[in-house]
Every structure is written in structure tokens, then in C-alpha cells.
Structure 1
């Protein structure tokens, strides 16, 4: 099995990932430009941990679109080097971080310590965001309903718009990631 260090070393830099992106790039960068980290002493605590991270992602993922720009701001403030691993090209890595033991949900942020060992894992959503998604999806018809695909597309559009336009979500994501890195 490939080590986390090897996955990190072989993953894309932020610049390479941005150049690779074909979907959600403008939206992701708009969130990045709109979101600023607060004056937060916890960021220095995180910086002192000397972390780096592997971001398991794909550009088509709406959750990645909203979570990655927040992580980018945290990484800037806490000197965390980010590398991006495309989920569909790295299933061996992804399958180590399944959501609920079965789902290849992304993004997943795998934080490594100075010795290249796993320090923490975060993803794919902050709890407040998960609660919202669960609530919005609860009215979907069954998968065998004739209008399921149409209804599902409408729900995904609603979620996507909420992600792009809700700074309160960005703040919840920020706090969720920071808390994960502080309280192990």
C-alpha cells in the first residue's frame, strides 16, 4: 500500500489543481475571494503543529467548491501546504477514507504531521451543512419515481446556490475544520 507521504508527494499543487479544474472553478474562487479568516488565536496553534494536507477531491463536486476555499484561507493563515489528489484517479487513497464505511464522498482533508503521519481527517461536510443537505433532500421522491432525476437536479441546484451565497455556511465550515485540528 502506498504511504500517505507518497500520495502527498505525488499529488497536485494548488496551482496545478486550479489549472486542471474545468467545473466550479469560478464559483470556488469567488468564495475564496469573499471569505476571510477571522482574527483567531487558534490559527497560531494550528500553525505550531507544522501540518500539511492531502485534499481528496474532484472539480465537479459542490461540497469541494464550498469547502476548499475555506481550507485554502486556513492553510494560508496557518502555513499548511495543500496537495490535491483526484478521487477518481486515486481510489486506493479514497477507499481509506470512506464516509460511513461505504461512500466515496468528497472532499476529504487528510492532515499530516511533520513526520508524514496522519494527524486528522475532516470531511466531507460540516455538521450544520450536512443537516441542511439532509433536510433539503428529505422531500425527494423514491429513486424509481418517474420525476426523480428532475427533482434531484433541482435539489442539487438549490444546494449549489446555497453553498455559493451563504457566508454563514463558510463560517461553520471554518469552525468545523479549525475545531477538528485543535481538539484531537
Structure 2
């Protein structure tokens, strides 16, 4: 069955309201936001060309405590800020019914960027991380199916270290976010 979020359209907050209401990680979020740079003029023009699409809506499931939100959403917001596409934020804890429609490998992971039409029919989604950065978690979940195993937490900690290594110290990973969002929008 196709996913539907019509009941959530116009129920979120603006990205600005989210940023102003952050009680955790605000400085880091703002830092990644300020460090954003377009990889190419072509990418910037692509997102600006979405101004011609009045049929799209974006809802982002997220929470300020999540490191992946802090890393990835600044790039998402910067990519979409001149697109003309309305963007709303759904705080995960306030929209668990929606979160449970967009699980990642069976778990609640944010951020999830949901692209829908004006009727709320989901056209695509992105998240919680760029594919290359998500690879270690996919591998971990496949290889560590027993959450009670004695080495589960150690393996999870190593996986998280690898994810942070792949993010890197600079903002270069943001290009992957933009590339994957561009692929998503190009496919709908």
C-alpha cells in the first residue's frame, strides 16, 4: 500500500521554528548550516528549478538530540531553501504514528525527509544518512541480529565510530546529501 501523509500536511513547524526551539545541539547544527557550500552551480540551479513545481511538499521527521539530524538536516535545508518547495518539520516524539510508517531496518531513525504531493501521497524519502555513511549500520544490523549477544554493544560502538569516521571533520559529506536529494527529486 502506498504511504500517505495527508493528515500531516500543515501540522508541522517551520525549519526556522525548529532551529529556534532547539534545546540540544543548536551550535553544532548552526555550524554545519553555515559551513554548507554548493559543490556545483548546476546543483544550485537544479534546486532553484524546483520553483516550477507547485505540486511538491517536504516533511522532515527529526529531533534535536539526534547527531544525524545535526549533521544532515543543515544540508537538506540549505539545498531546499531557494527551491520554493514548502518544508515542514515533524518532531519525531510528537508524530510517532508517522515515524512508524518510515522505519529504517525496523527501527526509528531520524532524520527522514519525506517528499509528497499536495494530496499527501508519498513520492519518495531520504534518510537517515547518506548511503555511504549508512553502510556500516546496514552491515551491523545484518550481522548482529541478537540484541542480547555479549558483543552487541561493543559492535554497535565500533559501528558508530566508523559512521563518524565516514562523516569526517569537514563538511564534504554534505555533497553526498545534496547529490542523493537531487537524485530523489529527479526521480519524481
The TM-score range, normalised by the shorter chain, is 0.7 to 0.9
Are the equivalent residues in 2 in contact too, given 1:55–1:85 (CA < 8 A)?
Answer: yes
**Which residue is equivalent to 2:26?**
25
Aligned positions of 1:25-174 closer than 5 A: 25-37=26-38, 38-40=40-42, 41-50=45-54, 51-100=56-105, 102-131=106-135, 144-145=149-150, 156=160, 159-160=163-164, 163=167, 165-174=169-178
The 2-side partners of 1:92 and 1:175 are apart by 29
- Relative distance call for 1:133 and 1:104 in structure 2 (3 A) is closer
TM-score, normalised on structure 1? 0.79
For the residue of structure 2 that corresponds to 1:168, the secondary structure is: coil
* 1:137-169 deviation digits (Å, cap 9, x = unpaired): 99x9x86548x7688567646745764723221
Unaligned segments of structure 2, at least 5 residues:
none
Structure 1 gap segments, 5+ residues each: none
Task: Give the total of aligned pairs.
Answer: 179
Change (3 A) 1:48 1:131: same
Cα distance change, pair 18–60 in 1 and its aligned pair in 2 (3 A): same
Q: Distance in 2 between matches of 1:93 and 1:59?
A: 17
Across the aligned residues of Structure 1 and Structure 2, the Cα RMSD in angstroms comes to 3.0
| 8 Å contact kept, 1:137–1:155 | no
Aligned residue among 179, 184, 188 for 1:175:
179
Instruction: State the alpha-carbon separation in 1 of the partners of residues 23 and 166 from structure 2.
Output: 21
Q: Give the drift of 1:78.
A: 1.1
Between 22-31 and 157-166, report the one with greater CA deviation.
157-166
Instruction: Sort the Cα spacing of 1:130 and 1:81 in 2 relative to 1 into closer, same or farther, 3 A.
Output: same
Contact between 1:12 and 1:84, CA under 8 Å: does it hold in 2?
A: yes
More helix by share: 1
Report SS of the residue matched to 2:172: helix
Q: Is the 8 A contact 1:49 1:113 kept in 2?
A: no
| Closer, same or farther: CA 168–135 of 1 in aligned 2, 3 Å | farther
